[in-house]
Amino acid sequence: MGHDVTLTRHQRLDRMYAEIWLQRPDKGNALTMAMIERLQVIGDELAGDGAVRAVVIRATGRFFCTGGDIAAWGGLTPHEMGQDWIVRGIAAFERIRTLPQPVIAALHGHALGGGLELALAADLRVATATAKLGVPESTLGVIPGWLGTSRLAELIGPARARHLLLLGAPITAAQALDWGLVTAVVDDAAALEVQVEAWLDRLLANAPVSMSLIKGILDAGQSDRRYHHASAAAHAVATEDCREGIRAFLEKRPPVFRNR
């Protein structure tokens, strides 16, 4: 239901920030389709609200988010899983990730599966020391469907991403900090509030346009790298040296490169 995800606005330093709340504590804040759709609506609303200078994603109860609710996706057909659950989830998380405002994920408890994928849509992540982070999908015969696989590889590197994704076991907040999956770890919920408020003070004091442009450049940089690699590979295979290298490999001899 829509009330399982709510949006609130607050004033701090005479500037406005918003909080997105996951409010399904009895189910570990597990995500339903209605919650995903609500995240999309909230993201669209915030993207057009120039008065909001920063966003915090929070949750009630013991957990930040335990992922997608199995009751919501367990009975879906392959077509429904791909076209409804996955595509809509990606769209909602991308809307959050590409907000012009900086986004903080405050992880007071475990962030697992789709819950971690939601946290990955934020710019800054802080976790309490007892929180665990992981992607257990491989233990269920599925995969992180909301771009979590590629985002983890981009954020913490392919080797550590493989560790999380293939083993399916969560890691501690301390290990997540060491790996760069979060950028701060605090002792408890009270310290979490102190850290979030400190970040908010800095973000609200910064120039909104500058931060939005920085986010855009970082996103473009990721796309540019992909296009650059594809262009470079295409250029390489068009050269005589590449053809010589292939021939030499097949003929089991050293190649003779002529730089053309």
Active site residues: 117, 137
Both tokens of 209, joined, read 């346009």
In 3D space, the residue among 45, 53, 60, 50 whose CA is nearest the CA of residue 3 turns out to be 60
Q: How far is CA 6 from the centre of its chain?
A: 20
In the three-class reduction of DSSP (H, G, I as helix; E, B as strand; rest coil), residue 31 is classed as: strand
**Please, what is the end-to-end C-alpha distance for the chain in angstroms?**
62
Burial class (CB in 10 A: 0-12, 13-18, 19+), 155: middle
Return the HEC string of 194-228. Answer: HHHHHHHHHHHHCCHHHHHHHHHHHHHHHHHHHHH
Classify strands 15-22 and 5-12 as parallel, antiparallel or unpaired: antiparallel
Question: Measuring CA to CA, how many Å separate 59 from each of 25, 43, 64, 173, 178?
Answer: 8, 16, 5, 17, 24
Measured on CA atoms in the order 45, 47, 51, 54, is the torsion positive or negative?
positive
Residue 73's contacts (CB-CB under 8 Å, 6 or more residues apart) are: 81, 85
Bridge partners for 186 per DSSP = 128
| DSSP assignment letter at 246 | H
